[in-house]
Amino acid sequence: MNLLQQASQSLLDQQYDQAVGLYEQAIAADPTQITAYWHLGLALLLQGQEAEAQMTWLMVMAEGDPTQVESWTQELAQVLDLAARQQVDRENWPTAWVIRQHLREVNPEDVNNLLHIMAVSLKLETFDPVDLAELGVLDRLRQSTTAIDVDLVLHVLETLLNRVDPHPLVTEFAEVCRRYIAPDEYVDLVLMSALRIAYFNKYPGMAAHLAEFCRELQPDNLDILFELAPFYQNSRQYQKGIELAAESIAKAEALPDRAFASYLYLRGLMNAGGYWDQAVAHLAHHEQILQELLVDPPFPLDLVRNSRLNTATFAFAYFRDTPRQNRQLQEQLNDFCRANMQFHNQTYFDRYQARHAERRHQPLSARKLRIGYISHCFHEHSVGWLSRWLLQHHDREQFELYLYFLNYHEIPGDSLRPFFFQMADKTRTFGGDRIEATEAIFADDLDILVDLDSVTLDVTTNILSLKPAPIQVTWLGWDASGLSTVDYFIADPYVLPDAAQDYYTEKIWRLPQTYIAVDGFEVGVPTLRRDELEIPADAIVYFSGQRGYKRHRDTAKLQMQIIQQVPNSYFLIKGIADTESIQQFFYELADEMGVSHDRLRFLPEVLSEAVHRANLAIADIALDTFPYNGATTTLETLWLGLPLVTRVGEQFAARNSYTMLKNVGVEVGIAWTNAEYIEWGVRLGTDTALRQQVHQQLLTSRHTAPLWNGKQFTREMEAAYREIVRIERSSS
């Protein structure tokens, strides 16, 4: 017994050579001490002598009868399990994995051990989803009648979902785990993981599967429906997304829930793109609910519901060019959301305000201005493609740049993400924790925080509502947010009408020429040919590439009238939408205008932005959308020398293409009425000389126009930053 105690202590002290010798002495003294063989094998295993360890165990097992072998197997399994746990406590993951694999050979039916193997493999980052099949975990979890360690199941499931591999076996594992975890606990874990997977990791289809498991457990849980509907919409399962949004409308009772359910339904119809009549009808209902909410808003509102309302007014700009009316509703709702955010985080807000007030009384220092840029789009995204030039050309002798990545996730193969990390003096990445982000921004002691998201992300609006920077500015991402904590909105002489300040909460800062400029775009090798699309070489080809929610029926009808009036013309239609519904949408308009379906072509998406741009060369003329114009799509079109017809309105979204045409010096194609839109479209289609003149003018503008001079634009933005800081300091 003394030898065994000494050997055990040596094993604990990781003196494996000594432990082996002592166990061998103990066995020689008393060969009936069976547990000594288990520990001797373990000591050999920990020395790396796996074959010798197995031989030691098998030698004993070979001498026993079936009853003894069964008992001994349980004893050995307990020894190995304890040893593996000790290695985990020491964070010696590779050794823990080896021990667990030997335990698997000893007792292949031990489900808990298989789960431990998964946990260690995940820690070692060697886990592959196919291991679920190889280990037999799924079948054993379905069939197991033994006691399962529920905490272990929870841990493995959470770790596996955090790793986010969109493999069907991972989803299957999450489904199987339901039988072991309490419904409330399961829903809390899996739904939160689904949100992260959908919005951070961009796998909405997988997120929808996970949320469906939650829904089966709690079919009346409205919060699950609120997440599930956009999962389906974002994974382009449009009809399912619309149906679930409609179901959420039927179940929602509280006014904030009704408003969000209404928004989800409208969003689903718009994303699909072909449900125009239903969308228009529902827009009026949606506005009525929002007005009702604002008459007597429930205050305070919990932060989850509050965040959901931040984007509830985004749809109006796509349906109507009424900026005074739209912005009044948007600003009222956002002010309500801002007040709620501040109420729940008053301590933070007060602390930030106190320091901002203190700084305003301090003289301007000679140090570099600290400019922070915040967005969830610092990657291959429209905002990413456009903002990169400003960051690249910034004068680093005069400005310190801080980049705040929201909803951050790894994007393998993304060509822009590394660029953004290189461009900043400091970068910070955040998930969905608003306070973590606001505290970090506040700690960086910025002079100006520039918002590139506007109301497209609730996390951003929540952060801006607490005002962690003394001056907050919105630029590029959409339109001004309407938050009273945002001080300025960057515009130019054209993108907003002269009277816009009358209905903007933010001070409008107009740059002298353009609110956006780029040095150009990468263009790849085209993958489309006219003959492949069965379009004659001498045809006039019109193009419109926009998402489904920009397909306003009135504008699409104008486009059909142009096609109808231009002989031998074809219309290429491209953009993310429900293929079947968007085709039906255009076919119905074509029938109404007397245009043959054969003159319409619906183009598939391509994975590469550069290839997408190269394929634009197949067209002769681009037809813009209204009342929501193109932005990045317009810039790409003009860069490639493609004449554009745009309808100019009053709101920011209806004047993007107008300011871009003005800033390349082209007046052709600028329409102030629907009639002019048709006239320009027909004229460009029938006047070859005019079309070629505009094409050449656009190509020449690459070397002369403000729109293609990122460096000059950056100098103008920097001048604006300096002046804004000077004004804000002097006004105090």
Under 8 Å between Cβ of 414 and 379: yes
The pLDDT of residue 365 is above 90: no
Question: What average pLDDT does the segment 426-442 reach?
Answer: 95
Residues counted in the chain: 732
Name residue, tokens 């280990």: 135
Q: Which helix (H) or strand (E) holds 74?
A: helix 66-89
pLDDT range class, residue 732, cuts 50, 70, 90: low
Query: Within 10 A of 23 (CB to CB), how many other CB atoms are there?
Result: 29
Instruction: Choose among 334, 309, 313, 333: nearest CA to 323.
Output: 313
pLDDT score, position 1:
57
Under 8 Å between Cβ of 575 and 554: no
pLDDT score, position 438:
98
Number of H helices, E strands in the chain: 33, 13
Do the domains at 1-108 and 531-708 have one common CATH topology? no
pLDDT score, position 200:
84
pTM, rounded to two decimals:
0.90
pLDDT score, position 511:
98
- Map residue 571 onto helix, strand or coil: strand
pLDDT score, position 246:
97
pLDDT tens digits, 313-333: 989 999 999 999 999 999 999
The pLDDT of residue 606 is above 90: no
Q: What is the signed CA dihedral for 689, 690, 691, 695, rounded to 10 degrees?
A: 100
Q: What percent of the chain has pLDDT over 90?
A: 87
The pair phi, psi for residue 545, each rounded to 5°, is: -125, 100
Tell me the C-alpha distance between 560 and 169, whole Å: 47
pLDDT range class, residue 414, cuts 50, 70, 90: confident
Question: What average pLDDT does the segment 172-190 reach?
Answer: 96
Tell me the C-alpha distance between 606 and 535, whole Å: 20
Question: What average pLDDT does the segment 228-246 reach?
Answer: 97
pLDDT tens digits, 384-412: 999 999 999 999 999 999 999 998 888 88
Tell me the C-alpha distance between 155 and 175, whole Å: 15
Per-residue H/E/C for 213-277: HHHHHCCCCHHHHHHHHHHHHHCCCHHHHHHHHHHHHHHCCCHHHHHHHHHHHHHHHHHHCCCHH
User: Which residues share a beta bridge with 621?
Assistant: 542
Q: Which CATH number among 1.25.40.10, 3.30.565.10, 1.10.357.10, 3.40.47.10 corresponds to the domain 1-108? A: 1.25.40.10
Q: Which CATH number among 3.40.50.2000, 3.30.300.30, 2.30.42.10, 3.40.190.10 corresponds to the domain 531-708? A: 3.40.50.2000
The pLDDT of residue 195 is above 80: yes
Residue 244 is which amino acid? Answer: L
Domain boundaries, the chain: 1-108, 345-510, 531-708
The pLDDT of residue 4 is above 90: no
Write b or e for each residue in 262-294: b if 16 or more Cβ atoms lie within 10 A of its Cβ, otherwise e.
Answer: bbbbbbbbbbbbbbbeebeebbeebbebbeebe
pLDDT score, position 182:
95
Q: What is the mean pLDDT of the chain?
A: 94
The pLDDT of residue 201 is above 80: yes
The pair phi, psi for residue 547, each rounded to 5°, is: -65, 160
**165-169 LR contacts (CB < 8 Å, sep 24+):** 165/129, 166/197, 166/203, 166/205, 166/206, 167/129, 167/130, 169/129, 169/130, 169/132, 169/133, 169/138
Question: What average pLDDT does the segment 432-446 reach?
Answer: 95
Query: Within 10 A of 528 (CB to CB), how many other CB atoms are there?
Result: 20
Tell me the C-alpha distance between 21 and 32, whole Å: 17
The pLDDT of residue 145 is above 80: no
Q: Which CATH number among 3.40.718.10, 3.90.1660.10, 3.40.50.11380, 3.30.1180.20 corresponds to the domain 345-510? A: 3.40.50.11380
pLDDT score, position 535:
97
pLDDT tens digits, 560-599: 999 999 999 999 999 989 999 999 999 999 999 999 999 9
The pLDDT of residue 374 is above 90: yes
